Structure 1
């Protein structure tokens, strides 16, 4: 793909907010977003909370939180891919791609999974007293937008590498457990010793400039 094939576009021209509330107070699962942009069951105490004010999240919807972006150096954003409806706090912003023939939701999400995007979010959040990435500022972010076919190719590669990563992590996990158990065994089997006998200091200066 040539550089000339990619145009830079403003986010606000391709996304729109959704704000469907749980007015019937249905007991859907309540979720939040981790720093790694995955969803988790809420850790908030919901006793006495009016869940009718909570927002309903459906498959293909994005959930965004710009709170403390500068502190965490992280844009909290997730793409919900579960068939089960869920609820999020009214403090979150929920939105969708307004034309998925021009922007693939997975491409959009992939772009914001980069450390570079998180650092940029941190950079532009400095205008907020609380280091938040406010919604209007988020809408003004520009992203590169190749053709839908090129977007799909990138998504396919991203998915393939992510699957390989997950497979490797699954294989490593049992080995890590064995190593941790062995280390614990050594802690009880051998007495502790000071490390001073095994290291020495080096202080060589650049005397010849």
Structure 2
């Protein structure tokens, strides 16, 4: 299996589309690396300044990374489009022939990735990580067929865990 490491910056491009259409599905990213409906009070808030995120794009909160020892980051799969606070960094994969969004999302869920981010984000009062530091983190990029196989196996295991959880909850 041929594989190599590439920086996040080599694999993704930042997106900064603003909410000019008045779209109102407001999401946030939890510490568990999934999207959640925002609990922010938006009464009187100008939502045109909020960022648009589209399907298969990522959102990351680079604030308080070292404090939480996890980086809230997720790939949008449930909706075609939503809006997010301007505090989030939004980005997408440059070339899906090089790396799959699902594979990159799996990489971001690794505890080793969180540990590396926590180590890097030691400066400042809040332990934030600048985009430039985040973009220098390296990701293992195997051949695309290997990525597909890993994603497929991960999905099977994740689905089984979810099913077992439902069974346990019913007991």
* TM-score category (smaller protein): over 0.9
Q: Please say if 1:47 is aligned against 2:43.
A: yes
Does the aligned pair in 2 maintain the 1:64–1:94 contact within 8 Å? yes
| Length-normalised TM-score, structure 1 | 0.79
| Length-normalised TM-score, structure 2 | 0.96
Could you tell me which residue of structure 2 aligns to residue 106 of structure 1?
102
Could you tell me which residue of structure 2 aligns to residue 118 of structure 1?
114
After TM superposition, where is structure 1 displaced by more than 6 Å over at least 4 residues in a row? none
Gapped regions of structure 1 (runs ≥ 5): 176-209
**How many equivalent residue pairs?**
171
State the SS of the aligned residue for 1:32. Answer: strand
Aligned-pair CA distance for 1:82: 2.5
State the SS of the aligned residue for 1:49. Answer: coil
**Which structure has the higher relative contact order (CA within 8 Å, separation 6+)?**
2
Q: Please say if 1:61 is aligned against 2:75.
A: no
Instruction: Point out the more displaced range, 74-83 or 123-132.
Output: 123-132
State the SS of the aligned residue for 2:70. Answer: coil
Aligned-partner Cα distance in 2 for 1:60–1:131: 28
Aligned-pair CA distance for 1:47: 1.1
State the SS of the aligned residue for 2:41. Answer: coil
Could you tell me which residue of structure 2 aligns to residue 31 of structure 1?
27
Aligned-partner Cα distance in 2 for 1:171–1:16: 41
Aligned-partner Cα distance in 2 for 1:8–1:56: 30
Could you tell me which residue of structure 2 aligns to residue 94 of structure 1?
90
Could you tell me which residue of structure 2 aligns to residue 172 of structure 1?
168
- Structure 1 or 2, whichever has the larger Rg, is 1
Gapped regions of structure 2 (runs ≥ 5): none
